[in-house]
Amino acid sequence: MNETTAPAPVQVTSEQRELLDHVLDKWSLQVLDALCERPRRFNELRRAIPVVTQKSLTATLRRLERNGMVDRVVTGTRPVAVEYRISPLGRTLQDLVDALLGWSAAHLDAVRDARERFDLDLETDGDAFADAGR
């Protein structure tokens, strides 16, 4: 008889968790997605992601640059300009970013429905929990 064993569960180290937190945070996916299209200057990124604040975008770009996902290039033009580009390492995330953004678009309605059911159940069960705690 052929025995098959389940693959060992993936162990996520604290270092991996930190990296994933940096790449999957609130703004990083959108910044990476925009930079995969083409290099952009800071204000171009702000226009591409209008809801991000200047402070959040700056922090996100620095974090992505520190982790090697984004390159910051100072041009020799007058006045001096700074352009952000996806790095070769960051480019390796393009398919994953596209997949995550596509998944979220395809399943958003189902997630909304699940949230509504949960919130309704919480309201109903919340009363029961409150009564039980008295």
Q: 31-67 pLDDT, tens per residue?
A: 999 999 999 999 999 999 999 999 999 999 999 999 9
Task: Give dist(CA 68, CA 109) in Å, integer.
Answer: 34
Give which of 25, 45, 6, 48 is closest to 97, Cα–Cα.
25
> What residue ranges do the domains of the chain occupy?
14-132
Q: What predicted TM-score, i.e. pTM, was given to this entire model?
A: 0.78
Query: Cα 9–12–14 angle (5° rounding)?
Result: 160
Identity of the highest mean pLDDT range in 24-28, 61-65, 100-104? 61-65
pLDDT band at 10 (very low <50, low <70, confident <90, very high): confident
Phi-psi map region of 68: left, alpha, beta (phi>0 left; psi -120 to 50 alpha): left
pLDDT at 14 over 70: yes
Mention the CATH class of domain 14-132. mainly alpha
Chain centroid, CA 132 distance in Å: 40
pLDDT more than 90, % of the chain: 70
Least confident of 2-6, 43-47, 105-109: 2-6
The per-residue pLDDT for 5 is 79
Phi-psi map region of 39: left, alpha, beta (phi>0 left; psi -120 to 50 alpha): beta
The per-residue pLDDT for 1 is 52
Element (H, E) at 23: helix 14-23
The per-residue pLDDT for 95 is 94
